[in-house]
Amino acid sequence: MIGRTRGSWITAVTVLAAFAGSAWLAGCGGGKIATRTEETIPPGTASKAQLIAELKSRMEGVYTLTAKAHVEMVDQAEERDGRFPTTEVNGQLLLKRAPDGKRQVRFSAQTLFPPANFTFLGRNEDFWILMPDFAKNPARDGKEGTVYIGKAPRDELRSRESFSYRPQDLADVFLVDEVFDRTAIVYMETWKPYYILHFLRPDRPENIYSKIWINRISGDMSVHQIFDRSGVLLVEGRFRDYQERKSEAGEFSVRLPTKFSVIWPRDKLVLNGELDNLKLNNQVRDQAFDPVLPRKYRIFKLRGEDEAPSDSADDRSPSSPPLGD
């Protein structure tokens, strides 16, 4: 059962999250000119319509993305001598996003200690996580690792019998696709440092679908929270150190965060990442996203939302802003 040994799946999640860093870039990137100017939104004053329009402009026009990701995972569930265990990961991200919103992602990465290779694949709602075994002695079944297979609808419930992390979580945190949903109910709060956009679905208006925190001075997205259909917080992304980046052909410019943190509160895991050598709209073939399953890896199918009750009040999002001035 994958929930029995925390160390192995935590390392897998770490790499998965690294992929996220890049997957997200497609979401925050794009548009003919994504730079915020005082002419579009004056500092400190903006309407809900202006904020949504600018988020849309930042997501349009990016179809492929490649980057090197340097990620540190912090396991806040296992404090040791006053410190939280960390795992460092280096990897390469490939992301391809179709005009209709469908996306593919591949993240191949290596942990430093212990040395091991991972592969994370996501195609729309389907995903594959290839994770090697870490035991010093060979497994009794002769296998060298496990391939975890499953589906990841954005706001569905997650099984509590295994890790809940999905490559799609990271993509969703960065892509901000809800701004394109014309049926969404949106209302806005104004705090001293942030605007907060609340998104609700018409069929479930009692529960928040997502929250987006926008810095009132820079106009950049600072926080993105995604909730499951019962209103429980699934994942939170925090973004900083935005920089202007141009596409490979130089036809557009876009502001992208170079540093990020991704938080899964249910399992008390935090991923802190930094992106290097970022390239937009370079050629990425579809074959790069084909799943290749090693013969000596066992197959484990993760359970779906039908077997995943999740209504703990402890998982709900705080009502106050998570960041300071």
Q: Identify the pLDDT of residue 189.
A: 94
Residue 150 placed within a domain = yes
pLDDT at 238: 96
Measured CA to CA, the distance from residue 167 to residue 65 in angstroms comes to 15
* pLDDT over 80 (residue 212): yes
Instruction: Give percent above pLDDT 70 in the chain.
Output: 77
User: What integer is the mean pLDDT of 106-117?
Assistant: 78
160 exposure class (CB count in 10 Å sphere: 0-12, 13-18, 19+): middle
What is the total count of domains within the chain? 1
Domain that holds residue 14: 6-40+61-175+240-304
The answer to the question of residue 160 being in a domain is: yes
Gap between the terminal Cα atoms of the chain? 44
Q: Within a domain: residue 158?
A: yes
Determine the pLDDT at residue 138.
67
Two structure tokens written together for 160? 């509590």
Q: What is the mean pLDDT of residues 47-71?
A: 87
* Weakest-pLDDT range from 4-18, 208-222, 226-240: 4-18
Q: Is residue 189 part of a domain?
A: no
Q: How far apart are CA 234 and CA 104, in angstroms?
A: 21
- Is pLDDT at 3 greater than 60 in this prediction? no
CATH number of the domain enclosing 268: 2.50.20
Percent of the chain with pLDDT over 90: 21
